[in-house]
Copies of this chain bind each other. A is one copy, B any other.
Amino acid sequence: MVVFVGQGDARRSMTLLWRADRTEPAPARPGRRPGLTIDEIVDAAIALADARGMAALSMNAVGERLGRTGMALYTYVPGKAELVDLMYDRVLAEVPTDPPGGDDWRATLTTWSESLWEFYLRHPWMLQISHARAVLGPNEYTMLETVVRILSGSGLPAPVLMRVVNSLLHFVRGVARTIAETRQAPGVTGVSDDQWWYARSALLDEVTPDFAERFPTISRLAEERAFEMADESVPYLEQEARETFHIGLSVFLDGIETRVRRPPAGPGPAGPPTGR
């Protein structure tokens, strides 16, 4: 029998994530009474991450928000990694579970994706968390349940459905990540991303006067897309990311519609096997 290293820790994590004991009155035990709750700690950590980014999230900083030292948190949570898992799953509760749209899966999925997009912009630190190993918390599953339910109205075959959902999620997170990360940088360096961009672009000209010859297609494209800033108050890079999100989403949904109408030749999984 294989022994799974760290399974004890895993059990502790899962119990924390799914803990239903939140309402129980805490059976009187010997020892000093706890002055904090896990919820308080997780909330403080989320508030900190929202306000100052993932880089500022240290055990000491979270403890300080609660009038404790950083070490005090270790009685509630095994370590920072587990705290981040809890933050991750907790904040996902904000993602709507029943977006409007009725029977129209496309309209519903569009609305839901936009909510998810806005959610990520509200909590940009979420995009910096490694997805190496799924957290498997209740709210993550709720979110998955929601999007799968919406898309199952389309009639996509089961093996394709989950993968299409994952593809969509990757796209949304990817685009959101560019905004999230540009938003964080100004606080660190003191330069807005537009300023930064202009400075760099100028340097680019300086350092590669032959840009137009080396990269003809890009250069032509840049010329064709005239400068038209819809809203001067929103930073350029952010507007660009918003446009990318909306166009990419509609392209992807077009692709799903095509799949629904014309299931592909191959059974289930499509595409040639990877080389390698």
Q: Which residue of B lies closest to A169 (CB)?
A: B174
- Interface assignment of A164: CB less than 8 Å from any CB of chain B: yes
* Cβ-defined contact, B7 with A199, below 8 A: yes
Report how far A225 CA is from B160 CA in the complex, Å.
9
Q: Which residue of B lies closest to A230 (CB)?
A: B269
Nearest Cβ distance between residue A23 and chain B, in whole angstroms?
A: 16
Q: Which residue of B lies closest to A198 (CB)?
A: B4
Nearest Cβ distance between residue A16 and chain B, in whole angstroms?
A: 10
* Overall SS of chain A's interface: helix
Nearest Cβ distance between residue A90 and chain B, in whole angstroms?
A: 16
Nearest Cβ distance between residue A58 and chain B, in whole angstroms?
A: 17
Nearest Cβ distance between residue A3 and chain B, in whole angstroms?
A: 10
**In which size bucket is the chain A interface?**
35 or more
Which among B131, B236, B273 is the interface contact of A201 at CB below 8 angstroms? B273
- Interface assignment of A37: CB less than 8 Å from any CB of chain B: no
Report how far A167 CA is from B251 CA in the complex, Å.
9
Contacts of A237 in B (CB 8 A): 275
Q: Which residue of B lies closest to A215 (CB)?
A: B145
What are 19 A-B contacts with C-beta separation under 8 Å? A5-B189, A14-B203, A134-B197, A136-B204, A148-B221, A158-B224, A158-B225, A159-B225, A161-B221, A162-B221, A166-B175, A170-B248, A171-B174, A225-B271, A227-B270, A236-B271, A240-B271, A244-B275, A247-B271
